[in-house]
Amino acid sequence: GVSTLNYRGQYLPVTDIVYVASGVGIVPILDQVKAVLPSGSSSVKGVSLVWINGDGKDFDVAINELEEEYFKYNTKLAVSCIGENVRKKALEENEEIEEAVPDFNPGTMAVISGPRAFSEKAKAYLKNRGYPEDCLCVLL
């Protein structure tokens, strides 16, 4: 998978990352989390990870690994696992998603990973929440 992200935003250094994932899109996100969270490995001070799945069983693919990372970095990593069928409902209609996704601040990068339809919806959602286009990265 992708081992580095190309940030095109004007706000450097990147101090916060917001990951929004669906389905197996969590797999490359976990690799990123493991790369940016260890002390001294990057300029990142905080990570918010929002993992959205329509079926609770879909969390089984990586929940143990995600929990392990959370216990290692619980002061830097915020995790939200949200059950929502986003094919049928807009992201902004879910209160948990609204609360889990932080407002944009300079130095924040957002990374989206999941099926194409989800990624397009998540990108539009983040732009509506004030995230500049050049601060968004969509993993394909």
Cis bond upstream, residue 13 (ω within 30): yes
Q: Would you state the pLDDT for residue 2?
A: 47
The crossing angle, in degrees rounded to 10, of helices 63-72 and 26-36 is 20
Distance CA 116, CA 70 (A): 27
Q: For residue 10, what are the contacts with CB-CB under 8 A and spacing of at least 6?
A: 134
Q: Consecutive sets of 10 residues in the chain, 140 residues long: mean pLDDT of each?
A: 67 94 95 90 93 93 94 95 90 95 96 95 97 93
pTM: 0.94
Q: Is the dihedral of CA 109, 127, 22, 24 positive or negative?
A: negative
Q: CA–CA distance from 7 to each of 13, 105, 134 (Å)?
A: 10, 15, 7
